[in-house]
Structure 1
Amino acid sequence: MGFLDFPFAAVPDSADARRFPRHQEVLRYIQAFARRFHLDGLIRLRTEVLAVSKDNDEGSSGGWRVRWRRNAAGDESEQEQEEVFDAVVVCNGHYTEPRTAAADIPGLDAWPPGKQMHSHSYRVPAPFADQVVVIIGASNSGADISREIAGVAREVHMADRSAPTATCHTLPGYRNLWLRSMVERADQDGTTVVFRDGSSVRADVVMHCTGYTYSFPFLPTTAAPAGDGAVVSVDDNRVHPLYKHVFVPQLAPRLAFVGLPFKVIPFPMFQIQASWVAGALSGRIQLPSEEMMEDVSALYSELETVGWPVRYTHCMKHSQFEYDEWLAEQCGGGHAGRVEEWRKDMFDAAKRKKVQCPETYRDEWDDHHLLERAYQDFNNYSS
């Protein structure tokens, strides 16, 4: 998952040298990256962006007004300030605003907060000891948390949206972990959950492992097509309109988004996206004009044809490497800006391993030949 020109590999001061390290090791890597490329002086930490708006004052150059305030520890002033910038690149991530299924499951929105939670708030399994837990969602978070909680809970029922209605069986190696069809409804007694097959359980807790919502509280946005001052719309997790998931056509290149695609190898893709944005802002890369909106419309038509839900507009699990290659071409091609073949092969191998060995894929692997190729490439960046 490391950046293309800065290897993510274990070093003497690594907090966790495993192939799937804890967050402390990822933080160490990001901090080392910032030091290596002297980025600390360009980053304002503990700074909250409150509003971003077009600078429409007479005589302005068409830039952006950014209103912000410091949230430093011990600073009680919280004085707001405003600056004007030539361009804005939105990189605020998409794992902070939980998306729940409460509104889609009749009765569940009446359950009190203590009876339901989102995986965003999950930390350790101990609070669920001897409880009956219903997990809504069977993707990465749902699968991982279900298995972890099963070690202490009385029962864990993982509801999968895509599972056939009759689905109800324990997972291999478990006596208290069931895979179920999706939840049909939740009785307003705050206890009973009914699945699509008509069966039910009395749950102590419902946990939503249902992903996140794109949120840009500092930008003028709308749930309908962008207009009336809104620069983009966010409808069922589709950020519209975006050319190649990055540029707002009418405002390109002065408004861009980096990091929206999901189910991808994040750091390499976002690095190439950033290179494309930087090239466009510098004038080195020319963006098409009329073609951008046509491309957006073509993408939506393609997704509709294959039956891909709107909420998966930025899901690139089947096309990330083609997208990476396209971005690299826009940036001028060359080997240095491309995702290496070993990285693609390692990603595919890890996906297969997870399906084959869901309990042990993090600690057992048989792709040592790929590691050798990786370290050969890493030698090119040794200082």
Structure 2
Amino acid sequence: MHSHSYRVPDPFHGQVVVIIGYNPSGMDISRDIGGVAKEVHVAIRAAPAEMQSSTAHANLWLHPMIDRAEEDGSVVFQDGGRVKADAIVHCTGYKYSFPFLGHDSAITVDDNRVGPLYKHVFPPRLAPSISFVGLPFKGILFPVFQLQSSWVAGVLSGKIELPSPEEMIVDVASFYSDMEARGHPKRFTHNLGASTFEYEDWLVERCGLDTIEEWRKAIYVAARGRVRDRPESYRDEWDEDAQLLEQAHRDLA
């Protein structure tokens, strides 16, 4: 009897693939399939000057966003370039939807803004009967979700008191006004981005928990820098963080 190894054929082998989006998921997927696909074309929402960090694969190109797709499978980019694609992969994030709440609910989803919500969690007029855990994106997310859960649990148990509905409504309105003044579209309402530490610290204080260690924040900042400067290898390089990792091991021990 002879043994034979068998590998499931890669669905993108020898194909021309268009990937929409170049945040971490788009980066990772484009890198993974770049070794088997014939061509990989990535459409990103960025100015041409920001697309100079090309790629480690000779068969991988960056483009502006897609203008249209045509019936013959051609994808036309906003700069007029076109490719005939075998597959299109969307790495464009998620759309929030809560159909079980009904159309007459006080909670709405408008351009991916779930609202009104106090600090991304409590609808002022319905709190604490309804709460949302897990809406934020682009931050240190799993610790954020854990802190949100601790806050909700504290409120439901009576250990933590929420502001009045009127106070929460004023806070939400101020948050929306600040977003508008900075030119941020509604779809970025739950994007923590640079404010992730501020939001975590706020939750920590409300829950009466220990402050988040500085090495956690430093590792995150260093990793974000690698994503920007070395998107092809940012997950595999840790030498610069050796001291931070040693500190993390000491704390966790």
TM-score (normalised: structure 1)? 0.60
Residue 199 of structure 1 corresponds to which residue in structure 2? 81
1-structure distance, mates of 2:231, 2:187: 26
Aligned AA for 2:59?
N
Q: Secondary structure at the match of 2:71?
A: coil
Which has more helix, going by share of residues?
A: 2
Among 246, 249, 263, the residue aligned to 2:121 = 246
Counterparts of 1:74-85 in structure 2 under 5 Å?
none
Count residues in correspondence: 244
Aligned AA for 1:356?
D
Question: How far 1:371 sits from its partner (Å)?
Answer: 1.3
| Contact persistence 1:167–1:180 (CA under 8 A) | no
Question: How far 1:250 sits from its partner (Å)?
Answer: 0.5
| Contact persistence 1:170–1:176 (CA under 8 A) | no
Question: How far 1:231 sits from its partner (Å)?
Answer: 3.7
Among 188, 198, 201, the residue aligned to 1:322 = 198
Q: Secondary structure at the match of 2:194?
A: coil
Aligned AA for 1:188?
E
Question: How far 1:174 sits from its partner (Å)?
Answer: 2.3
Residues 343, 167 of structure 1: CA spacing in aligned structure 2 closer, same or farther, 3 A cutoff?
Answer: closer
Q: Secondary structure at the match of 1:127?
A: coil
Runs of 5+ in structure 2 lacking a partner? 1-7
Residues 175, 162 of structure 1: CA spacing in aligned structure 2 closer, same or farther, 3 A cutoff?
Answer: same
Q: Does 1:276 align with 2:159?
A: no
Question: How far 1:168 sits from its partner (Å)?
Answer: 7.9
Among 124, 148, 171, the residue aligned to 1:295 = 171
Question: How far 1:353 sits from its partner (Å)?
Answer: 2.2
1:140-197 residue CA offsets vs partner (Å, 9 max, x unmatched): 1111111211111111110112233x988792432211100111111223x1111111
Residues 129, 169 of structure 1: CA spacing in aligned structure 2 closer, same or farther, 3 A cutoff?
Answer: farther
1:339-369 residue CA offsets vs partner (Å, 9 max, x unmatched): 2111111111111123333233222212121
| Contact persistence 2:27–2:232 (CA under 8 A) | no
Q: Which 4+ stretches in 1 moved above 6 angstroms?
A: 166-170
2-structure distance, mates of 1:327, 1:307: 26
2-structure distance, mates of 1:201, 1:258: 41
| Contact persistence 1:163–1:182 (CA under 8 A) | no
Percent identity over the alignment is: 58
Runs of 5+ in structure 1 lacking a partner? 1-123, 223-227
Q: Does 1:305 align with 2:186?
A: no
Which has more strand, going by share of residues?
A: 1
1-structure distance, mates of 2:230, 2:205: 37
| Contact persistence 1:167–1:179 (CA under 8 A) | no
1:37-56 residue CA offsets vs partner (Å, 9 max, x unmatched): xxxxxxxxxxxxxxxxxxxx
1-structure distance, mates of 2:85, 2:122: 45
TM-score (normalised: structure 2)? 0.89
Question: How far 1:125 sits from its partner (Å)?
Answer: 8.6
Q: Does 1:174 align with 2:57?
A: yes
Counterparts of 1:38-57 in structure 2 under 5 Å?
none
Among 219, 231, 248, the residue aligned to 1:346 = 219
